[in-house]
Amino acid sequence: MHILLVEDDQKLADYIKQGLLSAGHTVDHISDGSIALAASVTESYDVGVIDRMIPGVDGLSLVKAMRSANLALPVLFLTSLGGVDDRVDGLEAGGDDYLTKPFAFPELLARVAALGRRPPIQGEELTLSYADIVMNVAERKVLRAGTVLDLLPKEYKILEIFIRNPGRVITKNMLLEKVWDIHFDPKTSVVETHISRLRDKLDKPFDSQLLKTVRGAGYKLEVS
């Protein structure tokens, strides 16, 4: 899953992020509520883990703003404010779950997984499509021309990025950040390898090729 972590304690954030990465998730860590609000609108996240006491927009106001913008992102409040009234405030603001600090990481991981398994809230976009590709977000199923594509999680995430940005050039560094949470070029062929595997499933069995290479720039999804 792609997780938004909003936490201003850098040491704690590093600990949580490393644990989530080890569990196979991708994580965007943001320490400021205002920046997190902007990211929640422009990026596609599966779960948000949000502290209440953060700079900029506080956690409660952040989630209220998300809900006002009709963002259905499942949210786990992770905070030291553990009173009954605090929990009620968090849930009434639009939070889906509430975990107090200190916490056991296995419990955090289980709660995140549970939120990620919840069916999308009514109103959330359930399908994405481009040309003859249909992506069922709820079931994480992809079809092209009616044929189911057997995609691995990283291949699915790569295709989701392209299908949400049709015709736009997606660079190697953008894929490294969004799919692997790597914010530098590790000088490996991991992106090229996954693009090649995705093409074998997405394009090779069909008459038209949709996933194009833009020399010196990156890749894009485009009808010829």
| pLDDT given for residue 118 in this prediction | 61
Name the helix (H) or strand (E) containing 21: helix 10-22
| pLDDT given for residue 137 in this prediction | 82
Domain boundary among the residues 91, 117, 143 is at 117
Q: What is the domain-level CATH number for residue 16?
A: 3.40.50.2300
Question: The tokens of 75 are what?
Answer: 């949210």
Domain housing 107: 2-117
Going by pLDDT thresholds of 50, 70 and 90, the confidence category of residue 125 is low
Is residue 40 in some structural domain?
A: yes
Is residue 95 in some structural domain?
A: yes
Task: Write down the pTM of the prediction.
Answer: 0.54
Pick the residue with more confidence: 173 or 6? 6
| Residue 207 and residue 159 in one domain | yes
Domain count for the chain: 2
| pLDDT given for residue 91 in this prediction | 82
| Residue 90 and residue 173 in one domain | no
**Residue 122 predicted with pLDDT over 90:** no
| Cα torsion 108, 190, 198, 73: sign | positive
| Residue 160 and residue 75 in one domain | no
DSSP symbols for 107-174: HHHHHHHHHHHSPPPTTS--EEEETTEEEETTTTEEEETTEEE---HHHHHHHHHHHHSTT--B-HHH
Domain boundary among the residues 94, 117, 140 is at 117
Find the range with the poorest average confidence among 8-17, 79-88, 154-163, 205-214. Answer: 79-88
**Residue 129 predicted with pLDDT over 90:** yes
Pick the residue with more confidence: 123 or 50? 50
| Residue 157 and residue 94 in one domain | no
**Residue 12 predicted with pLDDT over 90:** yes
DSSP symbols for 173-192: HHHHHHHH---S--S-SHHH
Question: The tokens of 79 are what?
Answer: 């905070």
| pLDDT given for residue 208 in this prediction | 92
| Residue 112 and residue 186 in one domain | no
List pLDDT tens digits, range 25-80: 999 999 999 999 988 888 889 999 999 999 989 999 999 888 887 777 889 999 88
Angstrom distance (rounded) from CA 214 to CA 58: 41
**Residue 89 predicted with pLDDT over 90:** no
| Residue 14 and residue 88 in one domain | yes
List pLDDT tens digits, range 173-223: 889 888 877 777 777 788 999 999 999 999 999 999 999 999 989 999 999
List pLDDT tens digits, range 157-177: 899 999 989 999 999 988 988
| Residue 211 and residue 165 in one domain | yes
